[in-house]
Structures are given as C-alpha cells and as structure tokens.
Amino acid sequence: MRRYVFGQPIETEAVVNKPQVCTDSMTELSVYTDERFPLNFATTLDAEDIVYGLGENVRGINKRGWLYTSHNSDDPNHDEGKHSLYASHNFILISGQRHLGVFFDTPGEVIFDVGYNHYDKLVVSLPEADVEVYVMEGDSDLAVIREFRQIIGKSYRAPKWAFGYGQCRWSYMTSDEVRDVVRNHRENGIPLDMLYLDIDYMDAYKDFTINPATFGDFDALVSEMKEQNIHLVPIIDAGVKKEDGYDFYEEGKKNGYFCKDENGEDFVVGVWPGDCCLPDMLNDEAREWFGNGYKFLLDKGIDGFWNDMNEPALFYSRKHLQEVFDAVGDFARGNLDINRFFQFKDLMSGISNNEEDYASFYHNYKGQKVRHDKVHNLFGYYMTRSASEAFKRLVPDREVLMFSRSSYIGMHRYAGIWQGDNKSWWSHLLMNLKMMPSLNMCGFLYTGADLGGFGDQTTEDLMIRWLSLGIFTPLMRNHSALGTRFQEVYRFDAVEQMKGIIQLRYRLIPYLYQAYEKAINEDTMMFYPLGMVYPEDTTARRIEDQLLVGDDIMIAPIYEQNAAARHVYLPEDMRMLRFRGAELVEECPLSQGHHYIDMPLGEVCIFVRNGHQLQLADIVESVADLDWDNLTFV
C-alpha cells in the first residue's frame, strides 16, 4: 500500500489506518497536467483487463467503456446515459495480469474515463489538484480488496432483524393506514419485520416532529407494532424547515449551525417543506446537535432510520429562485423562438440541484470556511455519521438500523445505503444486481434497491422477479413513489407466489447473516463477481449477470420480462436447488459448463458449490421467531 499526497487535500476521514506518505514519484500510474485538468492519472489497459469498482454507479460490474463522475446527485430519472448517482465511491481495481487497486480520496469531483475515449486507457482527471491517492497491489483481486478495506475500517453491522422483509411507500398517510398494511401482511401470513415511515409522518415535513392530526397516537402505534415484532423505521431529511417558532430550527439558527452564504447569513434552499436551512454536517458541533435531534424518536422506542435528500438535494435556492422570477417576466413578453424557448426551458430545469447554488454556500469545517462544492460528496456521509455517533451516545445498548441515500467511502463504517430512486424497469433490476459487488468492494455491505421499483408502474412479474433477487440482498425493502401503482405484495393476484419467495428469504437469513458478518470481520465481500472467485476461468470473468453470495452459493436471477428460462454458466460442478416459493422441490447435480435452465415465475434456483453447503431455517413471520440453531443443511 502506498499513499501519495498531491496539493493540499481536504481530510475526508474515509481512511482510518493511514500508511506513511510515499515521497517517491508514482510509478503505477502516469501523472500529468494537461490543458483541461491540472491533475490526471493514467494507465494502459490490456484487452482482457477488467476494471471493477466505483460503488454506486450505472452500467456494468466491469466499468470499462464509459465515463463516470464523482458528484453526488439526486436523480430519480437515471438511466445508463448518466455519469453519477447518489454517491461517490472513488475506488477502482484493475484486474488482469496485475491486480491494482487505487483509491482517490477527495471530496470534490473526480472524472473516471474507463476506456471511454480510448478503450485501452484509463484516465482519472481532477478539476482541482488536491487529492490523496492510495495504491495497492496484490496477488489477487480479493487480496487487494482486503488491503483496501483494512485502511478504511470495518463496515457497519446491521441488527439481525434488519435482514427481515420491509414494506415502504411514499407515504402511508395515517397511523391507521400503517396498521392496515401490517395487518394485511400478518393476515396473509406474509413475513414482515419493518414498516417504513416516509415524509408524511412528520408535521409539515419538519425533522424530528410528528403530524399530530394523522399520527397523533404515535406512541401507541410504536408499541402495537413492537408487540407484532414490527420495527417502525422513519425517514429523516437533510433540510430543516425555516419556520419561526419551530424549536429545532430556532436552535440551529441561534447557534449558527446552518450553512452560510458568502455574507454569513443562513443559506436558504427548498426541500419538501419549502424554505429550509442546511445543517452544517461538517462542523463537529453542528453535527453533534443534529444527531441529538434523533433523540425525539429514539425516546419513543424507534430503532431504525433512513436518511434522505442528503446529496444534498436542492429543489431551489432562494437566491437563484429570485433571479428566475425576475427573468420569467421577460420570457412572458415577446416571441419565444427556438433560442429563447430553450433558454426559458433551461432556466426552469436549472432551478433544482444547480451547480452555482452548490458553489454559493459554506461550511465551517475544522475551523476553516470551506465552499460547499469543494466538499460536496461528504454531506450525506457526515449527516449519517451525526446520527450514528448520536446513537452511540444516546442509546449505547440499542442496535440501530441506519441507512442513507447519499454516501462517500468512510460512511460504510456508520451505516448502510439503499441504491436511491430507481424505476420499475427491468434494466434497474439488473442494475441492482450489478451494483452489489461494486458496493461491497467499497465497504458497503448492508445495501439493496427499492424492490419492485420506486418510480413508474410496476408489474406483477417484475415484482416477483425483483423479490427473487431481493431475497439475497441484506436490505430487502419494497418501496414505491407517490402516485405510482400500489405494490404491497398482498395487492397482487400472485400474492401466494410472492409470499413464498419472501418466506424463502427468511429460510435463508442464517446463511445470509453469517456471510454478511464474515464479510465485515474478514474485510471481504458478500456478493462476488464470478471472476474474483474463479480468476483462471475466462468465461467466468465475462459473466455479469450471476453472482456468488457468500462462499457457498451462486445466484442467476431472471431480469427480462416474459423470460421463463435463462442461460447459466457453472464455473465448477454445482448442485442446483429449485425452490417453489419457500419449498425445496428439486435437487439436481449439474456439471461445470453452460446450461439453459427453466425458471418459471415463483421459482428460485440456487446453485450450491461443490463441497459446500447451504443451511436453511424453518419458515417464520419475523426474524424474532427464527430458530438459528435448528437448521437444515443441504
């Protein structure tokens, strides 16, 4: 492991075990300045090289052939044309003749041209020449990953119950609606451990409040849910409503805990409640204060949270909005020809998440005034850290579930992540699968995507297939957006099939949890690309739609509509277990090589490696009822 320092990098606290700075010049990558960027790193790629990494991002497990930008972005409409999602995970691993891992530690923008302009070249460019670069080489991909994980520290450990099934929707509007959703699960015998509360449980979308009209009996709701082994998991948003008399806002304002504009005034942005201020998550004192906010819900017995809108997502800034209002009048008068019409459209579409806004407010970071865009990618990380540190202070004996939308490497020590706002698209099911190993490399083990898809209308078959993948991901949550089709599984004709698949999840929890714990303890992965486990097998190295889960099993989900079978490649002899719902209906030895395997809706095939075993629990309705000692071994 070699650590190089360029310029004056801002400390991110991604790395906890820092090696000595290497003062020799870098040999593994060429380093240069050009007319576009003050700092570039480049290397040649062999035809067969795979470039792994970049955590949460679009496209393949092998990142070759595209341009990726580290810039945490709120983009619910992402497709493969995008360059960044909600997180920045600047770790890459070149796998081929050499196994070379590189981590670019900077909270600012990094552009990864992974064979996009030239297929045989990797070029990493930085608009600002301040970065710490960690370079590691090893005998295998997994050795490099372990080395990397050892410097960034152990991953967050979620409670066992967080491996149960969770139901979410934006939003269940009243406590009675919550009761209804839970009752429908219980009456249908559909296992459930978590019920998520989206923004409407709050009073006017104000953090650390409860809507008295619709959730007035919140305390009773929490205890009723507890009796049924259901954990209520409320959302917390990054922006704090700017409203005189709202005590949390007043406290933040009085103590100077909000991000400031260039004149030292609180910077005002728009999120769900309208005008908000952004807590200065990078300021130690403000972070402690924000974390203490969770006490309100912890005191009510809550033991799980999801942090949202923390890229931070800005619907608008007051300052920019005023400029837009002033300009709109001009457009209202006169002809809108092609140029003026597009100017008008750009003006409107540029209101949200505007780059100029990100360069218009400031943090007080370690006593320095730092412009937000320089540290943009840290905001979600530090928000979530504020929560996690508060849990340790306030409820040291409670295991708390915590996951965030935005993140940066380092946050993996404090929480998990979900994969942001996806769509009810088959391509996003596949993206969910591909992101798992990329995230694992970067330390994010407790993760999963919105099952069934968040935006757009899901379909029954998509729901079934997505659940069939989701039963393997640590975070297994069905979530959908306001205005979309309701997708709680009991609403579908195929409820019995879906229930069976969720029951299978519970049968798998002991296996999955031990694989998860092992990945934490041994700084390894839970989801492996085949090429990392069978590096000599050139076919396995090319497979992008099958994964190993833990050390013992392989999965090959269906991700195309109307497909009832698929090609599966076996890198070694394996035993196929076919489940119809939760029931094991077929066991069949298969030899190494190519197979075309029937997988009708409602059936899940798991491939057990030669000489390995899979343990299965009995079917239960919640993790609390799982018997971890009496397992069936296959």
Find the binder of ligand GLC among 28, 113, 421, 603 (CB under 6 A): 421
245, exposed or middle or buried, with CB in 10 Å at 0-12, 13-18, 19+?
exposed
Q: Are residues 475 and 448 in contact, defined by beta-carbon separation less than 8 angstroms?
A: yes
What part of residues 199-228 is at the interface with ligand GLC (CB under 6 A)? 199
Neighbouring residues of 267: CB distance < 8 A, sequence distance ≥ 6: 258, 259, 260, 261, 277, 278, 317, 319, 360, 361, 362
308 in contact with ligand GLC (CB under 6 A): yes
In this structure, the number of other CB atoms found within 10 A of the CB of residue 183 comes to 12
314 interacts with ligand GLC by CB under 6 A: no
Q: For ligand GLC, which residue has the nearest CB? A: 170
Q: Is 170 a binder of ligand GLC (CB under 6 A)?
A: yes
Nearer to ligand GLC, 479 or 507 (CB): 479
Do residues 511 and 482 touch, judged by C-beta distance below 8 A?
no
* Residue 235 vs 617, nearer CB to ligand GLC: 235
Asked whether the beta carbons of 132 and 4 are under 8 A apart, the reply is yes
| Shortest Å, Cβ 79 to ligand GLC | 17
Contact criterion met (CB below 8 Å) for 63 and 92: yes
Q: Diameter of the chain by CA atoms?
A: 77
Q: Out of 198, 203, 303, 603, which residue is the one contacting ligand GLC (CB under 6 A)?
A: 198
Which residue, 40 or 307, is less far from ligand GLC as judged by CB?
307
**Least distance (Å) between residue 488 CB and ligand GLC:** 15
Q: Which is nearer to ligand GLC, 115 or 470 (CB)?
A: 470
> Per-residue contact track with ligand GLC, 372 to 411, x per CB under 6 A?
---------------------------------x------
Please tell me whether the peptide bond between 25 and the residue prior to it is cis, using omega within 30 degrees of 0: no
Residues 58-87 contacting ligand GLC, CB under 6 A: 76
State which residue, 170 or 315, has the beta carbon closest to ligand GLC. 170
Nearest Cα residue to 234 out of 257, 261, 203, 259 = 203
Binding of ligand GLC at residue 456 (CB under 6 A)? no
Strand partners, 587: 577
Q: What share of the chain is helix, strand, coil (3-state, %, to 5)?
A: 30, 25, 45
**471-490: contacts with ligand GLC (CB under 6 A):** 479
CA distance 573 to 552: 12
Size of the site for ligand GLC (CB under 6 A): 9
Query: Between β-strands 450-451 and 476-478, what pairing exists: parallel, antiparallel or unpaired?
Result: parallel
CB of residue 352 vs ligand GLC: minimum separation in angstroms?
12
Residues 506, 508, 510, 513: is their CA dihedral positive or negative? negative
Q: Whose Cβ is closer to ligand GLC: residue 193's or residue 198's?
A: 198
Tell me which residues in 233-272 interact with ligand GLC (CB under 6 A): 235
8 Å CB contact between 456 and 422: no
Q: How far is the CB of 198 from ligand GLC (least distance, A)?
A: 5
Examine residue 532 and tell whether it contacts ligand GLC (CB under 6 A): no
Q: Which is nearer to ligand GLC, 309 or 471 (CB)?
A: 309
CB of 419 to ligand GLC, least distance (A): 10
Residues within the interface to ligand GLC (CB under 6 A) = 76, 170, 198-199, 235, 308, 405, 421, 479
